Structure 1
Amino acid sequence: MSLTYIANARFPTEKAHGLQIAKTIEALTRKHINVNLVIPKRRVFEKLSPGEFYDLSCEIKPIYLPCIDWFFLYKPFPRLGRFLYALETITFLFSVTIFGLIHLPATLFTRDPYLFVLLSFVRKNLFLELHTFPKTTAGKAVLRQILKRANGIVVTNRFLLKKVESEGVAEEKILVAPNGADLSLSEKMIPKLTARQQLGLPRNQHIVLYLGNFYVSKGVYVLLEAANNLSKNVKVVLVGGSEADRNIEPLKSVIVKNSLTQVTLIGFQERRRIPTYLSAADVCVLPNIVTDEESEFFTTPMKMLDYMAAKRPIVASDLPALREILGDESAVFVRPNDPQALAEGILRVLKDSIKANSRAKLAYFLAEGLSWDNRARRIKMFIGKSITHA
C-alpha cells in the first residue's frame, strides 16, 4: 500500500503536531505502507533531519511544494499573524491541488482537511484525520462538504466522532484512533538519580515535570501559581515551549517577576532527551484549562501519552477529553483552572508513592493498547476496507 500524507506544517518543528505526524509515518512504515510526506517549502530552523530530530527508527524525506512563506514578518509585525498564515495556507493549497492532479497519488491522507477543498471535487481515496472541529459557521459548511466526499475520517476521540456524525457522516466511514503512545520510552528510562545527575537537577527534592508547549490553554500559568502552594522540597521543571510562537520569554518574565525560585524553565529539548527528563520526575502534570470546546472535549495531548508510556504518576485536570484516555483510576484528577486544587493533587501523589505507582502502572497498561503500532494497524485496515467498499 502506498500513501501520500499531506501536511501544512513547518517540519521538523518543536510543536506537538510535528511529532504526531512523524510518529504516525514511522508506525505506518513499520506496517509496510510506503508513505510520502508532502509539506510546504518553508524556512526550517532545525538542522537535524526529521529522523534525528524526532528520534525515529526510519528517516523521513519530505516532498516540498512551493508556498509564500513570509512568516519572518511575524516577529516585527505580530498583528500580521493571521494574514501570513492565510497567505501561506492558500498558496500551499493550490500547490497541493496541482500536485494531486499531476502526480495522481493512489491514496491521500491529511490532518489539515481544508487542503482537500479543491481536490475533493476531482479525486477519490481521500482520508482525513481530525484533531479539532471548526468554530465558525463558514468553516463548518466547508468541512461538511469535504467530509461527504472523503472515503474515510479518522478522529482522535469519541467527542469528535459525535461531531462528525452530527454532520450526516455514517459511522462506518469514521475510525476513532487517539494519538499513539511511544512504548519505546519505557525501554529508555534510566534510574532517577542518574537522570538528575545528568541533567543537573537536585537529588534531594521532589520533581514535578511539565512537558510540552506553553500555550495558556495548556495551563502552564496555573502551574506557576500552584508552585507557590507547594513545599520547599518540591521543584517544578518546565520542558518545552516555542521560540517561533514567542511563548518562552513571557513565561520566563512571570517566573522572575514573582521570584519563583522553585521553578526551573528548561525550554525545548530534542526528542532523544525526553526519556531522561521523564526518568528524573516524581510526578508529571497536565494542568489544562478550559478556554473553549476544543480544550475541554477534543484535546489528546502527546505529553499525556508520554507520561503514561514512561510509567510516571500523573496529575491531570478533570476534563472529559483527558478522562476518555486516562480512565478514572490511572491519574489524580483535579479541578481545572484551580492552582490550589492542582497543588493539592501534586502533594497527594508525593505523599503516597505506593498508590501513585499503582496508578502509573495502570496508565502504562492503557498505553499498551494505544501504541503507535496498534494505531497504524487499525488505520491501515480502515483505509484498505474503505477503498475496497468505495
Structure 2
Amino acid sequence: MRIAYLHSGSIPSVFANGVHIMRMCDAFSAAGHEVTLYATPGSHPADDPYAYYGVRHRFPVRRVPCPDYTPAGYWKRAEAVRDLLIRDGVPDLLYGRDPYSLSAAADLAPFVYEVHQLRDDLAPAGMERDLLAQPRLARVVVITHALARDLQAAYPGPGPLPVLVAPDCADPVDPATTTALPELPGRPDAPRIGYVGHLYDGRGIDLIIELARRLPGFDFHLVGGTPEYRARWEESCGLPNVHFHGHRPPADLPAYYPHFDVVLAPHQRKVYTWGNLFEIGRWTSPMKIFEYMAHGRTIVASDLPVLREVLQDGVNCLLCPPEDIDAWAAALNRLVADEALRRALGDEARRQVLDRYTWRRRADDVLAGL
C-alpha cells in the first residue's frame, strides 16, 4: 500500500513526536508498504535524519515549510501539502497527526487520524469535529484508553468514532547495532539510577533531585532535555551525585540503558509539553517506558491510572504515588539490594514488549482491515 504520512512538525528535531513518527514510518516500510513522510524542515542540525533516529529504512521525506506557526500559516502549508500529494500521485492512504493537512486532503484518499491529546488550539473552532465527520475517515488511532474515552465524549456524534487504542512502543534490542558507550561519569561502584527523556514540567525531575539528596550513595543520570531545560535544572541542583547528559540522538540512547541498575518514570499528575503549551498527564503514553522495558531495565514509575494501562506493580515494575518521596526512596533501596527482583521485573518487562508493544506490531494493528 502507498501511504503518505502527514506531520506538521520538523524532521529531524529534539522532540518526541519526531521519534514516534520516524519509528512508525520505519515500521510501515518494514511491513512492505511504500511510505512518504511529509514534514517541515528540520530544527536539529543532523545531516542524516535516518542515522539520527536510528531507523532501518530510507523512506522519502518531503519537507514542506510552514510560513508561520499560526492557524493561517498551518492552513497555507496544508494547501501546499495537498498540491504536493497530487503531484506525487495520490496515495492509497493518508495517515497522520496533522489535522490541517488531513483536512485539506481529506477528499483525496481514505485517511487515518492519529491523536495523542485533546486539542483546544485548532482554528477555526470545530475543525477537528469536521475532520472526524469526513466520509473518508477510516480510523482514529489513540495512544491510551483514557484518551479514547475522552475523545468519544468530546465528539459524541450520531455514532461511535472508529477508534483504535495503540500504545506507544519500542523496537526489539539488537546488540549488534548498539554502539559502545564510554564510561559514565560518577563513581564506578555506586548504583546507577537512570532517567531518559525530556526535562519539562511534570516529568518529575524535582523528585529525582530530591531522591539524589536523600540517597547520596547512588548516582543519578538524566539523559535528555533541550539546552534551556537542562540549564535550568542543572543550575538549581548542585548535587555531586546527579549527572545531566543533555539531549542525545535517539540512535545513541540504546547505549545508555545497560549502564543503569534502575530506571525512573516519575510522571506527575499534570505533565506538560515544551513551553507548557499543553497539559497531557491524563492521556500520556511515554515512549521511554517502552524503551526501558525493551532493554529489560527495572522500572520505578508513578502510580497513575494512565500508566497502569501498561505497567503492573510487582510484575513488570514497581509503582509509587508520584508525590510520596519516601515510597520512591524505599523502592530504590529495595531494588538495589535485591538483584533477583530486579532481574525478574526487567525480564518480564522485556517479554511483554516483545509480545505486545513493538513498532512493527503497532503498524500492522493500525492498518488492519484497511
Q: Separation in 2 of the partners of 1:375 and 1:171?
A: 22
Q: Give the counterpart of 1:182 among 171, 174, 186.
A: 171
Question: AA paired with 1:7?
Answer: H
Change (3 A) 1:140 1:350: farther
User: Structure 1 7/334 Cα, relative in aligned 2: closer, same or farther at 3 Å?
Assistant: same
| C-alpha distance in structure 1 between counterparts of 2:10 and 2:364, whole Å | 27
Q: Which residue of 1 aligns with 2:24?
A: 24
Other structure's SS at 1:364 match: helix
Contact 2:144 2:167 in 1 (8 A): yes
Q: Give the stretch that moved more between structures: 155-164 or 335-344.
A: 335-344
Counterpart in the other structure of 2:14 = 14
Q: 1:87 to 1:349 in 2, by over 3 A?
A: farther
Task: Say how many residue pairs are matched.
Answer: 357
Equivalent pair of 1:296/1:320 in contact (CA under 8 Å): no
Asked whether the 8 Å contact 2:25–2:35 carries over to 1, the reply is: yes
**Shift in Å at residue 203 of structure 1?**
1.9
Q: Give the match's secondary structure for 1:181.
A: coil
In structure 2, the partner of 1:4 is 4
Corresponding position: 1:260 with 2:239: yes
Is 1:205 matched up with 2:190?
yes
Comparing 354-363 with 279-288, greater Cα deviation is found at: 354-363
Listed one character per residue, the Cα deviations across residues 205-256 of structure 1 (whole Å, up to 9, x for unaligned) are: 11110101111121112211222111x220110100123xx3121112112x
Change (3 A) 1:44 1:137: closer
Q: Cα distance 1:307–1:187, how it changes in 2: closer, same or farther (>3 A)? A: farther
The corresponding residue for 2:162 is 173
- 8 Å CA contact 2:152–2:160 kept in 1: the answer is yes
Residue of structure 1 in register with 2:330 after alignment: 344
Secondary structure in structure 1 of the residue aligned to 2:350: helix
* Contact kept in structure 1, 2:7 and 2:38, CA below 8 Å: yes
- 2: CA distance between counterparts of 1:43 and 1:137? 23
Q: Which residue of 2 aligns with 1:157?
A: 144
Measure how far apart 1:65 and its partner are: 1.6
Match of 1:233 in 2: 217
* Other-structure match for 1:290: 269
Equivalence map 1:327-342=2 (5 Å): 327-328=312-313, 329-342=315-328
Q: Counterpart amino acid of 1:117?
A: S
Q: 1:264 to 1:67 in 2, by over 3 A?
A: same
Structure-2 residue corresponding to 1:274: 253
1:96 to 68, 72, 81: 81
Contact 1:129 1:154 in 2 (8 A): yes
Counterparts of 2:349 and 2:25 in 1: how far apart (Å)?
25
Relative distance call for 1:32 and 1:264 in structure 2 (3 A) is same
Whether 2:60 is the aligned partner of 1:61: answer yes
Q: Which runs of 5+ in 2 are unaligned?
A: 272-277
Amino acid aligned to 1:94: E
In the aligned structure 1, how far is the partner of 2:178 from the partner of 2:218?
22
Task: List structure 1 runs of 4+ shifted beyond 6 angstroms.
Answer: 136-140
Task: Give the distance between the partners of 2:26 and 2:104, measured in 1 at CA.
Answer: 28
Separation in structure 2 between the aligned mates of residue 188 and residue 210 of structure 1, nearest angstrom: 22
1:251 aligns with 2:237: no
Q: Verify the 8 A CA contact 1:113 1:129 in the aligned structure 2.
A: no
Aligned to 1:77: none
Q: Give unpaired runs (5+ residues) of structure 1.
A: 70-83, 385-390
Q: Which deviates more, 265-274 or 287-296?
A: 287-296
Could you tell me whether the CA contact under 8 Å between 2:71 and 2:123 is conserved in 1? no
Quote the Cα distance in structure 2 between the aligned partners of 1:132 and 1:109: 17
Higher helix share: 1
DSSP 3-state at the match of 1:199: coil
Q: Is the 8 A contact 1:133 1:294 kept in 2?
A: no
Give 3-state SS (helix, strand or coil) of 1:7's partner.
strand
